Amino acid sequence: MDPSQARHRSTYLAAGTILLFIVIAVAASLAMSRWVLQTDASLQEQVLAIAAQLHAPGDQNTMTVATSSLTLAQHMRYQIQQDLLQGMTSSQILQQMVQTYGPGVLAAPSFRGFGRVAWLIPWVFLFVLACVGGWLLRRGFQSQRDVPPTLPAGIDEDAASTLDEKAQRSIDARLQEYY
């Protein structure tokens, strides 16, 4: 294999490996986030899990209610704890927070209307990235097959064809000896 072909092959394999790693990381992240929300955790962990899905109104940075030190965020965490003690589910608590503070309280967009687009864009991007990566890998492997074999430096074509003819005659003679 030509050194440039080996370099191209290793580049395409590295790109494919990176793409595979990204897909696995995203899938693991989604599975982990669903698992964390569904586990039967202590009350404080449940409060923090719900609070991590909320953004405190008036908070200018990107902190969630779980990590914000604003008085309003502390009040929201207390309200979440009280609602959990009353037996409300996390989805009911989130709905109540949206009714009280508006849809801007959600840290992540809902899967309705424009929020659906916000949720789908990363997946579309990953799909396009996978298609482009596959196309580049396929193109790289096809170009390696389309390259005609080259002779080493210092050997001309006539000498090579003579060498091939001599080698063929030698092989034919040896085969005749056995058959």
The two tokens of residue 154 are: 């210092």
Looking at residue 170, its amino acid is: S
Helix 71-85 vs helix 43-51: angle between axes, to the nearest 10 degrees? Answer: 130
Q: Which domain holds residue 177?
A: 155-179
pLDDT mean across residues, the chain? 77
| Residues 84 and 38 placed together within one structural domain of the fold | yes
| Residues 61 and 11 placed together within one structural domain of the fold | yes
Report residue 167: phi and psi, to 5°. -65, -40
Residue 40: predicted pLDDT: 47
| Residues 122 and 160 placed together within one structural domain of the fold | no
| Whether the model pTM is above 0.85 | no
Q: Which of 23-37, 41-55, 129-143, 151-165 has the lowest mean pLDDT?
A: 151-165
The two tokens of residue 99 are: 């009714």
| Residues 93 and 26 placed together within one structural domain of the fold | yes
Dihedral sign computed on CA atoms, order 20, 23, 26, 28: negative
- pLDDT(101) > 90: no
| Residues 108 and 162 placed together within one structural domain of the fold | no
pLDDT (tens digit per residue) in 78-100 = 999 999 999 999 889 999 999 99
pLDDT (tens digit per residue) in 15-51 = 778 888 888 888 777 777 666 555 445 888 889 899 9
Would you give the DSSP letter of residue 59? Answer: -
| Residues 119 and 164 placed together within one structural domain of the fold | no
| Residues 162 and 121 placed together within one structural domain of the fold | no
| Residues 92 and 170 placed together within one structural domain of the fold | no
The two tokens of residue 93 are: 């608590």
| Burial of 8 (C-beta count, 10 Å sphere; 0-12/13-18/19+) | middle
Specify which residues 143 forms β-bridges with: none
